[in-house]
Amino acid sequence: MSFESAMARLGGTSLSVGSVEACSIAKGETLADTIRVVSGYADAIVIRHPKEGAARLAAEFATVPVINAGDGAGQHPSQTLLDLYTIRQSMPIDRIDVALIGDLRYGRTAHSLASALSLYNARLHIISPKGLELPATLAADLREKGMEIVEHDDLNDVICDVDVLYVTRIQRERFPDSASYFNVASSYRITPELLAGAKDHLIVLHPLPRIDEIDPRVDELPYARYFEQSRNGVPVRMAMLMRVMQ
Higher pLDDT, 229 or 183: 229
pLDDT at 108: 85
Segment 104-128 shows an average pLDDT of: 93
Per-residue pLDDT, 35: 93
User: Per-residue pLDDT tens for 154-194?
Assistant: 889 899 999 999 999 877 666 656 666 666 766 788 999 99
- The answer to whether 142 and 104 have CB atoms below 8 angstroms apart is no
**Where residue 129 falls among pLDDT bands split at 50, 70, 90?**
confident
> Domains, the chain, ranges and CATH?
2-72 (3.40.50.1370), 77-230 (3.40.50.1370)
Whether the Cβ atoms of residue 135 and residue 128 lie closer than 8 Å to each other: no
Higher pLDDT, 73 or 89: 89
Name every residue whose Cβ is closer than 8 Å to that of residue 214 and which is 6 or more positions away in sequence. 167, 189, 190, 204, 206, 226
What's the pLDDT score for residue 74? Answer: 67
What does the alpha-carbon distance between residue 118 and residue 141 come to, in Å, rounded to a whole number?
10
Compute the mean pLDDT over every residue in the chain, rounded to the nearest whole number: 89
- Give the pLDDT confidence score for residue 188 in this predicted structure: 82
Whole-number Cα distances in Å, 170 to 159, 178, 237: 20, 12, 26
